[in-house]
Amino acid sequence: MIKSEFNTKTLTHFIGGVMKPGRSERFGKVYNPSTGEVTAFCPYASVEEVNETIEVAHSAFAAWKNTTVAKRVEVIHRFRSLLIEETERLANIIGLESGKTISDAKGEISRGIESVDLAINAPHMLKGEYSVNVGGNINSFSMKQPLGVVAAISPFNFPVMVPLAMTSMAVACGNAVILKPSERVPNSALFISDLWKKAGLPDGIWSIINGDKEAVDALLKNPKVCAISFVGSTRVAEYVYHEGSRNNKRVASFGGGKNHMIIMPDADLDQVVTAFLGAAFGSASQRCMAISAAVPVGKATADAFVAKLKTRVLELKVGAYNDNNADFGAVITQESKDSVIKYINESLEEGAQLYVDGRNPKICETEKGFYLGPTILDHVTPDMKIYRDEVFGPARIVVRVNSLDEAIELINNHEYGNGVTIFTENGSAARKFSERIEVGMVGVNVPIPIPVGYYNFGGWKRSKFGEGHMFGPDTVRFFTKTKTISERWPESKDNENKAEFSFPSNQ
């Protein structure tokens, strides 16, 4: 158990620059997935607590909005340095609460820092446009101004990377941010709050409100919250999008995925298997960008791939988050484990073939963590539930097709369009695939096509609701509103007495 001021039995919110106990008398259990033990109790905020937090943020906003962007970036620079200094400690907190290995947690922090790096470029990205003499000695220019209070609702599987991606640019643009982290992993967000405080961020500009649906609904309904970012399941993502939009908020809501890996006959299968292992089973497959389905083209490709994959999968080691030899750790809860096992069992009843069974991994005799070993199911068909749904755990499937055209049609017919990748040595096939596929993030010989922090992240179809993106230049557009000014400074002798009633033009 990590010894820190945040990892106590009863946690807090972070409001107005201080840790505040919850007043609702409702709490949720926080587990260590590696042991199954309860490590803390997370307070669930009431509507009154959420609204009070919004008022604090709203009051702090005006001064932060009027702070020069250079001064805001100074705070973000210091915050970045603190993130790097505290990487070891933060990685341990991530592992303790999410079950992912320490090396995986450090990778998450590193990718999160990319979003902070992008926010440091805010002075350049916030520049407006200027045009001289667009007509009648009128100059036109634009400026980007912050929205006000914005909220982010983040998932359990990336307790640091996703909150940083959702909020760093929002802070840099001059907004006041309220983060509602997953109630399963609240400690990471509270730790980050302490770093923002040490970096010199004014009180009220960054707040943490812990809670469940009651807190989410309060954020969605309060008129002083101008924008909402969400990452989670598609069911909740769609709800947040519709409720937020109904309440006149700007919404970027990211849902689930069913990410395919197309394997062409000319691909190097040894490289493909190696790429598939990490992309499919990293973080116990609890990634929205994890490869869910291998799609080998042709029977010979499929048979060879499955044979090579089985050998390598059987070598994978599952273990505690702080086991340096573990390839991946536990899933987040016992309910998650039970859900994955149910999907496996149902797929077998529907006709899938089990090549590797991870339902009862032997970790150690006394271990009571939420462990699942890697499972491989072959001959899965598109009508099976395990193919249609996002399965958030290490049960991966093989769907066989006869051609690239069939693979493209298969993927385009799926309701999700988050990520996809193709492994091939044929540039023509890769180009055809990239142009025709209806998916937001595409990899060519890249197993997990998550773009770097200065490119936009976001899926298509039912993987994303709203027009915003989670990182990249679109975050500036999402967290600002554009004002366009037309100005003219006439000489006194130019004063005209005749009114113009025709629509203004530059003629």
Domains annotated for the chain, with CATH where assigned, are: 12-255+463-484 (3.40.605.10), 259-444 (3.40.309.10)
What is the distance between the alpha carbons of residues 77 and 79, in angstroms, rounded to a whole number?
5
pTM of structure: 0.91
Place of tokens 């069939």: 406
| Short-list 16, 64, 24, CA closest to 42 | 24
| Tokens found for residue 453 | 């922090």
User: What DSSP assignment string belongs to 372-441?
Assistant: ---EEEES--TTSHHHHS---SSEEEE--BSSHHHHHHHHHTSSEESEEEEE-S-HHHHHHHHHH---SE
Residue 28 exposure: Cα atoms within 13 Å on the Cβ side: 15
Is residue 472 within 8 Å of 455, Cβ to Cβ?
yes
pLDDT number for residue 5:
40
| Tokens found for residue 242 | 């519709």
Place of tokens 């009431």: 46
| Tokens found for residue 20 | 């505040």
At residue 487, φ and ψ (nearest 5 deg) are -130, 145
pLDDT number for residue 506:
62
| Tokens found for residue 99 | 């079950």
What is the distance between the alpha carbons of residues 49 and 22, in angstroms, rounded to a whole number?
8
Reported as a single tens digit per residue, the pLDDT across 327-346 is 999 999 999 999 999 999 99
pLDDT number for residue 507:
61
DSSP-based three-state secondary structure for 230: strand
**39: enclosing H helix or E strand:** strand 37-43
Residue stretches of the chain with pLDDT short of 70: 1-8, 363-366, 492-497, 505-507
Q: How are beta strands 416-417 and 460-461 bridged, if at all?
A: antiparallel
- φ/ψ region of 249 (left if φ > 0, alpha if ψ in -120 to 50, else beta) reads beta
SS in 3 state form for 179-215? EECCCCCHHHHHHHHHHHHHHCCCCCCEEECCCCHHH
Reported as a single tens digit per residue, the pLDDT across 31-90 is 999 999 999 999 999 999 999 999 999 999 999 999 999 999 999 999 999 999 999 999
Nearest-10 Cα torsion for 289, 99, 210, 190: -100
DSSP-based three-state secondary structure for 166: helix
| Short-list 178, 175, 183, 176, CA closest to 159 | 183
pLDDT number for residue 2:
32
pLDDT number for residue 499:
72
- C-alpha distances (whole Å) from 347 to each of 164, 314, 342, 360, 430 are 37, 21, 9, 17, 31
DSSP-based three-state secondary structure for 304: helix
Neighbours of 63 (CB within 10 A): 13
What is the distance between the alpha carbons of residues 34 and 22, in angstroms, rounded to a whole number?
27
**Secondary structure letter of residue 353 according to DSSP:** E
| Tokens found for residue 289 | 């960008």
| Tokens found for residue 175 | 């907004």
What is the distance between the alpha carbons of residues 171 and 445, in angstroms, rounded to a whole number?
35
Q: How are beta strands 291-296 and 395-398 bridged, if at all?
A: parallel
pLDDT number for residue 216:
97
pLDDT number for residue 3:
36
Angle subtended by helix axes 69-85 and 102-120, to nearest 10: 170
The catalytic site residues sit at 288
